[in-house]
């Protein structure tokens, strides 16, 4: 058949030879990079060529010929040849087409064949943000994908939450790298953003059910860049920047002293004599601890290319980030080498190798102490007092016993080395034109060493270490996946497309560690002696353990499409997991989805709408993310003394749950996709509803049970629902092009069922707020709400106090004085007690949105990204002390103006008091809850493309991150108020390192 066309073509070619011209030219993309392999076809003929390795072509055409240039992922372009002899063509990317091939797990199909909810973010978009990790770049780009900052310390990995909280335990999505499922704890931080071709987020269970037991929090599929046929391309991308964090305005010494004395005087006590006569403003700890600028450097080098039979892509990335404290850095080297071999027409081999070396020093979480330490303490003790002290003991011992943060930094010696070797081998064998067998083996070896040294020092009775010590921990991990699948793909009679997949999968993750600690390194300062065998002290401590998690699975999937109009997808996965007791270890997860492409229907005719598609999906996924030992009752061991000798003491160490079962999430997704004016405007909207049942959670039992620690339990069901909206606009006017992408999403997760004994899930206990739980999850309400006492302003005078009574006239707060908080006696029993606890805030936003703007004008380009949340509350824990000076802690500058006094009756915060008989600062209340809505300019980038001969691309840019934040929130940063456990910690702000403001200079160079 092919030959016949060729022969006929040749025939026509020779027949019309006289009237022909030769046209030469080249094809480039929007970045002026030459594109090889572009099809150049004379319209309405079979006369065609392809551009060569350099993107050049030469074709003989008729006089009135029209040339059609087309290439996958770009909009086709037609050019009337006329009398032109050379033609330079610039192809622009076709957003609709770019998505054409979508990775869907154990395979890839055309976008038009899927009926599920999958969001795609390209590597190019990711790298616009110049983020140190790809997760940051996802923020605001895909609707329904929320990225929660874990603070601004170097190397801190954000958390990704897809469509809200369906599971109280571990909300990180599963990450699948080129088909390899990574361990549950894997942060998306590990990958070099420059290696990413695309990231696909499987949002609904219809899409993710194929990943079964590990998919309940969504799945992120990462596809790395691979080589293309053509001449080698070498590119260099580099950025250099400076980071800056905002300093808090703490009180100086005089204001601090005034507050301390006011607290005593208000209680009828004398001023503190130890503070009398202090002159000056004392120590500005923020200046001592925080450095204004910290450098961040990122350099990437990539080479790719290949022939028909061997294609390669190799890259090296170096990243180096310093913290804004004297201590703390994060360095990373990523290398990746992806090769594709075409062994025969039937056999294809892909071999990827990647190595990661990471070296870091943990940034001490020291801002909390910097906030609290008193300003009357000097950084160092006087020269005269230093005699007989070692170099770690010359720091001032603070009056309020908060550790001297400068001294803490000086004593911080930690080293963290992580090395990982990853290899991914995939063999594809085409049994015949329809049937492909695929076998994939992914192996990951990693080693992690953490070492620290604690020097001997003495500042005072509670801040000392009599003997120095060295700690060394080594972890080794070995993970593998072994996937074998058979895929049948066929289009029958042009209209029926079928794609069936069956597979058998093995997933195994093992870890082991050994840790040792010894005391008595002979020198406090000789760095070379800080090894375990350098220690001479008697105390020795060694521990170690190992663990393995295994999953065996079978997967089946079918895709059927009729005439590209009606698409049906269905899948079933059967998993057996070692995390569960034998009787409950098997889980079956299935899904079905359907999509209707209305614009392909004959009856559909519209001038404006070029794409209209409806889809609906149902699916079920699971979660096994609970402690490996969750099912076991285990015996711990310790020590006791009889007869003046140490004896072994055994006890119940962990209370197991032999009835643990899978957590499953049922999910429904309804969506519509639209494109207007040839996709100038795109719109998509989805509504989803997810019900998770048998939720796995580590539950705290009442203490009288004597159960040690937490117990893994299946606690009940959560319902989560919301909308994901996306609106895009892309247009071009001459030299000016504009792209806008607006995303918005809503989500609410409610507890729809809670098992007996778990009617309330409590979390976030705070010792200073009376060991009360700050978070509650109750039946029928949003999960993880703030919990505490309601207040109703401040008592202005005795009359108000006396009239705050219950119905029978009991004075509700007999210990209160004017200036104290008025608590609401919600149960009306005449006293404020545990029965009055109420929900006092909601940490989850009503709406989360992002806006991305891309503009180009001639050689300039500008991109901008905004991100924001609205309607969420933050529990600002720092209000406990920064306005009260409790426990002699330092206060915020201007605190005296913020607190109530007879002359400042309009104040927001209650009166100062050391005794605090009313408990204003000893229990959780809405005094600590603030509006945490914010809008942040995440990224602004301006670039310019230079033309240099022989260089494909030379672009310089400047970029700023987190330049502007609009918020009413009074703490450090509303964005850091997340935490490790989304139910228990989310929205609680304990002053972690805030997100830094970054200024960058960057270069993109392609040869």
Partner 1 sequence: MKKSIIFLIIYTTMFTVSCDTDKFLDQPLQGRQQLDDFFSTSSSAETFVNGIYQLVNGTNWNQVNFQRQINEMASDDNWAGNTRQPRPDITGIAQYNVFPGSTYFNLFWENHYIGITRANISLDRIPEVDIEEEKKQQFIAEAKFLRAFFYFDLVRNFGGVPIVTTYNEILEPSINDKVRSSVPEVYTFIEKDLLEAIDDLPLKSEQNSSESGRVTKGAAQSLLAKVYLFEEKWGLAQTMAFNVMQSGEYSLEPDFADIYSVDNVDGVESIFEIQYINNPAFPNIGGQFSITNGSRGDRGWGWASPTSDLENAFLSENDVIRLRSTIIKHGEPVFGDDTVTSFNGLPEENKSGRTNRKYYVPTDKRPEPYQRGQIPLHYIHLRLADVILIHAEAAYFNNDEPAAKSSLKLIRDRVQLPSNNALTGDALRDAIWKERRLELALEQHRLYDIRRQKINGVPRIALILGPEGSFVKYNTEVSTDPFETTNLLEPQNSGTLFDPNIHLLWPIPPEEIQLSRGKIEQNPEY
Residues between 617 and 636 that touch partner 1 (CB under 8 A): 628-629, 632-636
Q: Which is nearer to partner 1, 308 or 538 (CB)?
A: 538
C-beta of residue 991 within 8 angstroms of C-beta of residue 876: no
Q: Which is nearer to partner 1, 9 or 653 (CB)?
A: 653
Site string for partner 1, 337-376 (x = CB under 8 A): ----------------------------------------
Q: Give yes or no for residue 4 binding partner 1 (CB under 8 A).
A: no
CB atoms within 10 A of CB 345: 7
Q: Give yes or no for residue 922 binding partner 1 (CB under 8 A).
A: yes
Q: Which stretch binds partner 1 (CB under 8 A): 93-101, 387-395, 396-404, 847-855?
A: 396-404
Q: Give yes or no for residue 274 binding partner 1 (CB under 8 A).
A: yes
Q: Which is nearer to partner 1, 44 or 533 (CB)?
A: 533
In the range 957-986, which residues lie near partner 1 by CB under 8 A? none
Q: Give yes or no for residue 759 binding partner 1 (CB under 8 A).
A: yes
In the range 484-513, which residues lie near partner 1 by CB under 8 A? 484, 486, 504, 506, 508
Q: Which is nearer to partner 1, 111 or 465 (CB)?
A: 465
Pick left, alpha or beta for residue 105 (phi over 0 → left; psi -120 to 50 → alpha; otherwise beta): left
Q: Give yes or no for residue 935 binding partner 1 (CB under 8 A).
A: no
Q: Give yes or no for residue 270 binding partner 1 (CB under 8 A).
A: yes
Q: Which is nearer to partner 1, 85 or 646 (CB)?
A: 646
Q: Which stretch binds partner 1 (CB under 8 A): 186-194, 291-299, 478-486, 797-805?
A: 478-486
Hey, is 704 helix, strand or coil?
helix
Query: b/e for 674-708, b at 16 or more Cβ within 10 A?
Result: bbbeebebbbbbbbbebbbbbbbbbbbeeeeeeee
CB atoms within 10 A of CB 987: 26
Residue of 651, 733, 803, 809 that binds partner 1 (CB under 8 A): 651
State the burial class of residue 22 (Cβ atoms within 10 Å of its Cβ: 0-12, 13-18, 19+). exposed
Q: Which is nearer to partner 1, 554 or 739 (CB)?
A: 554
Q: What share of the chain is helix, strand, coil (3-state, %, to 5)?
A: 15, 50, 35
Nearest-approach distance from CB 977 to partner 1, in angstroms? 23
Q: Give yes or no for residue 213 binding partner 1 (CB under 8 A).
A: no
Q: Give yes or no for residue 1001 binding partner 1 (CB under 8 A).
A: no
Q: How far is CA 305 from the centre of its chain?
A: 32
Q: Give yes or no for residue 834 binding partner 1 (CB under 8 A).
A: yes
Q: How many helices (H) and strands (E) does the chain have?
A: 12, 54
The two tokens of residue 480 are: 């593998």
CA 256/CA 272 separation, integer angstroms: 12
Q: Give yes or no for residue 771 binding partner 1 (CB under 8 A).
A: yes
Name residue 574's beta-bridge partners: 554, 588
CA 375/CA 400 separation, integer angstroms: 10
CA 786/CA 790 separation, integer angstroms: 11
Q: How far is CA 810 from the centre of its chain?
A: 52
Hey, is 832 helix, strand or coil?
coil
Q: Give yes or no for residue 6 binding partner 1 (CB under 8 A).
A: no
Q: Which is nearer to partner 1, 231 or 582 (CB)?
A: 582
State the burial class of residue 407 (Cβ atoms within 10 Å of its Cβ: 0-12, 13-18, 19+). buried
Residue of 14, 44, 279, 462 that binds partner 1 (CB under 8 A): 462
Q: Give yes or no for residue 269 binding partner 1 (CB under 8 A).
A: yes
Task: Output the 3-class SS for 238-300.
Answer: EEEEEEECCCCCECCHHHHHHHHHHHHHHCCCCCCHHHCCCCCCCCCHHHHHCCCCEEEEEEE
Q: Which is nearer to partner 1, 295 or 658 (CB)?
A: 658
Dihedral angle over CA of 787, 792, 797, 799, nearest 10: -110
Give the containing element (helix H, strand E) for 555: strand 540-562
Dihedral angle over CA of 788, 793, 796, 798, nearest 10: -40
Nearest-approach distance from CB 294 to partner 1, in angstroms? 34
C-beta of residue 959 within 8 angstroms of C-beta of residue 939: yes
Site string for partner 1, 567-596 (x = CB under 8 A): ---------xxxx--x--x-----------
Q: Give yes or no for residue 767 binding partner 1 (CB under 8 A).
A: yes
Residue of 3, 15, 603, 642 that binds partner 1 (CB under 8 A): 642
Nearest-approach distance from CB 167 to partner 1, in angstroms? 22
C-beta of residue 999 within 8 angstroms of C-beta of residue 157: no
In the range 552-571, which residues lie near partner 1 by CB under 8 A? 552
The two tokens of residue 247 are: 């300093």
Q: Give yes or no for residue 265 binding partner 1 (CB under 8 A).
A: no
Q: Give yes or no for residue 276 binding partner 1 (CB under 8 A).
A: no
Name residue 239's beta-bridge partners: 298, 1002
Residue of 639, 807, 808, 947 that binds partner 1 (CB under 8 A): 639
Q: Which is nearer to partner 1, 48 or 656 (CB)?
A: 656
Q: Which stretch binds partner 1 (CB under 8 A): 105-113, 240-248, 763-771, 933-941?
A: 763-771
Q: Which is nearer to partner 1, 19 or 464 (CB)?
A: 464
Q: Which is nearer to partner 1, 46 or 659 (CB)?
A: 659
Q: Write the CA distances from 242 to 295, 537, 864, integer angstroms.
A: 4, 44, 19
Nearest-approach distance from CB 742 to partner 1, in angstroms? 43
Q: Which stretch binds partner 1 (CB under 8 A): 87-95, 311-319, 383-391, 651-659?
A: 651-659
Nearest-approach distance from CB 37 to partner 1, in angstroms? 31
Q: Give yes or no for residue 774 binding partner 1 (CB under 8 A).
A: no
The two tokens of residue 258 are: 């005034």
Q: Give yes or no for residue 732 binding partner 1 (CB under 8 A).
A: no
Q: Which stretch binds partner 1 (CB under 8 A): 44-52, 87-95, 280-288, 545-553?
A: 545-553
Angle ∠(619,621,624) on CA atoms, nearest 5:
170
Q: Give yes or no for residue 401 binding partner 1 (CB under 8 A).
A: yes
Residue of 237, 519, 625, 825 that binds partner 1 (CB under 8 A): 519
Dihedral angle over CA of 949, 954, 955, 956, nearest 10: -100
Residue of 46, 58, 525, 546 that binds partner 1 (CB under 8 A): 546
Phi/psi at 210 (nearest 5 deg)?
-65, -20
Q: Give yes or no for residue 548 binding partner 1 (CB under 8 A).
A: yes
Q: Give yes or no for residue 916 binding partner 1 (CB under 8 A).
A: yes
Q: Which stretch binds partner 1 (CB under 8 A): 202-210, 701-709, 877-885, 954-962?
A: 701-709
Residue of 8, 19, 677, 915 that binds partner 1 (CB under 8 A): 915
Q: Which stretch binds partner 1 (CB under 8 A): 123-131, 199-207, 218-226, 696-704?
A: 696-704
Phi/psi at 160 (nearest 5 deg)?
-110, 125
Q: Which is nearer to partner 1, 7 or 539 (CB)?
A: 539
Q: Give yes or no for residue 524 binding partner 1 (CB under 8 A).
A: no
Q: Which is nearer to partner 1, 359 or 701 (CB)?
A: 701
CB-side neighbour CA atoms (13 Å) of 945:
17
Q: Give yes or no for residue 702 binding partner 1 (CB under 8 A).
A: yes
Nearest-approach distance from CB 340 to partner 1, in angstroms? 21
CA 822/CA 802 separation, integer angstroms: 11
CA 255/CA 576 separation, integer angstroms: 64
CA 405/CA 408 separation, integer angstroms: 5
Q: Give yes or no for residue 824 binding partner 1 (CB under 8 A).
A: no
Nearest-approach distance from CB 469 to partner 1, in angstroms? 11
């Amino acid at each position: 058949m092919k030959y016949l066309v060729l022969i006929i073509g040749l025939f026509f070619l020779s027949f019309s030879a006289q009237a022909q011209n030769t046209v030469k030219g080249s094809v480039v993309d929007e970045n002026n990079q030459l594109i090889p392999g572009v099809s150049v076809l004379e319209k309405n003929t079979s006369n065609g060529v392809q551009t060569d390795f350099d993107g050049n072509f030469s074709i003989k055409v008729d006089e009135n010929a029209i040339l059609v240039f087309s290439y996958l992922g770009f909009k086709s372009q037609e050019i009337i040849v006329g009398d032109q002899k050379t033609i330079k063509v610039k192809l622009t990317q076709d957003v609709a087409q770019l998505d054409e091939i979508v990775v869907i797990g154990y395979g890839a199909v055309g976008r038009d064949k899927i009926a599920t909810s999958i969001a795609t973010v390209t590597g190019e978009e990711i790298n616009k943000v110049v983020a140190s990790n790809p997760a940051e770049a996802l923020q605001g780009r895909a609707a329904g994908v929320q990225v929660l900052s874990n603070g601004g310390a170097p190397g801190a990995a954000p958390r990704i939450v897809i469509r809200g909280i369906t599971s109280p335990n571990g909300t990180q999505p599963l990450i699948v790298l080129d088909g390899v499922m990574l361990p549950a704890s894997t942060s998306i931080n590990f990958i070099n953003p420059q290696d990413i071709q695309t990231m696909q987020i499987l949002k609904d269970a219809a899409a993710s059910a194929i990943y079964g037991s590990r998919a309940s929090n969504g799945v992120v599929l990462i596809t790395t860049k691979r080589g293309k046929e053509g001449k080698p391309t070498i590119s260099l991308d580099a950025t250099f920047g400076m980071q800056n964090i905002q300093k808090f305005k703490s009180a100086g010494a005089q204001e601090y002293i005034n507050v301390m004395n006011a607290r005593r005087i208000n209680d009828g006590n004398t001023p503190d004599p130890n503070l009398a006569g202090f002159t000056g403003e004392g120590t500005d700890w923020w200046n001592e601890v925080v450095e204004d600028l910290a450098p961040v450097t990122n350099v990437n080098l990539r080479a790719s290319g290949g022939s028909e039979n061997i294609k390669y892509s190799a890259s090296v990335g170096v990243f180096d980030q310093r913290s804004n404290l004297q201590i703390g850095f994060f360095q990373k080297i990523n290398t990746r080498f992806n090769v594709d071999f075409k062994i025969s027409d039937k056999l294809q081999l892909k071999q990827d190798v990647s190595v990661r070396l990471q070296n870091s020093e943990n940034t001490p979480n020291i801002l909390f102490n910097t906030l609290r330490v008193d300003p009357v303490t000097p950084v160092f003790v006087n020269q005269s007092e230093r005699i007989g002290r070692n170099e770690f003991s010359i720091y001032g011992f603070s009056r309020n016993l908060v550790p001297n943060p400068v001294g803490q930094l000086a004593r911080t010696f930690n080293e963290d080395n992580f090395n990982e070797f990853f290899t991914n081998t995939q063999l594809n064998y085409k049994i015949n034109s329809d049937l492909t067998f695929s076998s994939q083996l992914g192996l990951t070896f990693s080693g992690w060493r953490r070492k620290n040294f604690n020097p001997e020092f003495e500042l005072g009775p509670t801040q000392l270490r009599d003997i120095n010590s060295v700690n060394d921990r080594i972890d080794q991990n070995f993970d593998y996946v072994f996937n074998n699948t058979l895929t049948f793909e066929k289009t029958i009679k042009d209209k029926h497309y079928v794609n069936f997949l069956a597979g058998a999968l093995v997933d195994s993750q093992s870890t082991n560690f050994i840790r040792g600690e010894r005391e008595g390194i002979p020198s406090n300062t000789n760095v070379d002696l800080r090894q375990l065998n350098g220690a001479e002290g008697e105390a020795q401590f060694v521990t170690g353990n190992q663990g393995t998690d295994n999953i065996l699975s079978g997967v089946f999937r079918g895709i059927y499409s009729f005439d590209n109009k009606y698409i049906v997808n269905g899948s079933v996965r059967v998993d057996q997991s070692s995390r569960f007791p034998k009787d409950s270890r098997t889980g079956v997860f299935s899904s079905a989805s359907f999509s209707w492409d209305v614009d392909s229907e004959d009856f559909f005719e519209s001038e404006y709408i070029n794409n209209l598609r409806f889809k609906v999906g149902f699916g079920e996924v699971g979660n096994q993310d609970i402690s490996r030992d969750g099912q076991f009752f285990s015996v711990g061991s310790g020590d006791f003394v009889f007869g003046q000798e140490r004896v072994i003491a055994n006890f119940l160490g962990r209370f197991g749950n032999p009835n643990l079962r899978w957590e499953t999430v049922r999910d429904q997704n309804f969506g519509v996709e639209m494109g207007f004016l040839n996709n100038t405007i795109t719109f998509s909207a989805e509504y989803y509803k997810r019900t998770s049942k048998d939720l796995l959670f580590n539950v705290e039992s009442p203490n009288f049970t004597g159960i040690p620690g937490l117990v893994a339990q299946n606690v009940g069901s959560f319902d989560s629902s919301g909308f994901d909206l996306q609106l895009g606009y892309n247009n071009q006017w001459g030299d000016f092009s504009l792209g806008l992408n607006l995303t918005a999403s809503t989500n609410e997760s409610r507890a729809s069922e809670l098992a007996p004994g778990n009617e309330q899930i409590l979390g976030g206990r705070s010792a200073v707020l009376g060991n009360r739980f700050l978070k509650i999850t109750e039946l029928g309400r949003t999960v993880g709400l703030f919990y505490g006492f309601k207040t109703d302003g401040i008592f202005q005078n005795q009359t108000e106090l006396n009239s705050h009574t219950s119905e029978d006239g009991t004075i509700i707060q007999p210990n209160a004085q004017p200036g104290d908080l008025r608590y609401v006696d919600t149960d009306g029993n005449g006293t404020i007690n545990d029965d009055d606890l109420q929900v006092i805030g909601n940490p989850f936003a009503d709406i989360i949105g992002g806006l991305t703007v891309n503009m180009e004008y001639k050689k300039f380009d500008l991109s901008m990204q905004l991100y924001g949340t609205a309607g969420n509350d933050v529990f600002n824990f720092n209000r406990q002390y920064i306005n009260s000076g409790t426990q002699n802690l330092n206060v915020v500058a201007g605190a005296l103006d913020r607190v109530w006094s007879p002359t400042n009756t309009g104040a927001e915060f209650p009166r100062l008091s050391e005794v605090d008989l009313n408990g204003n600062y000893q229990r959780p209340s809405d005094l600590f809850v603030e509006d945490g809505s914010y809008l942040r300019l995440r990224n602004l980038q301006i670039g310019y493309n230079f033309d240099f001969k022989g260089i494909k691309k030379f672009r310089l840019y400047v970029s700023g991150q987190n330049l502007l934040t609009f918020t009413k929130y009074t703490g450090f940063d509303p964005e850091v108020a997340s935490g490790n456990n989304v139910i228990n910690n989310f929205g609680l702000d304990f002053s972690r390192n805030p997100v830094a403001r970054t200024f960058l200079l960057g270069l993109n160079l392609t040869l």
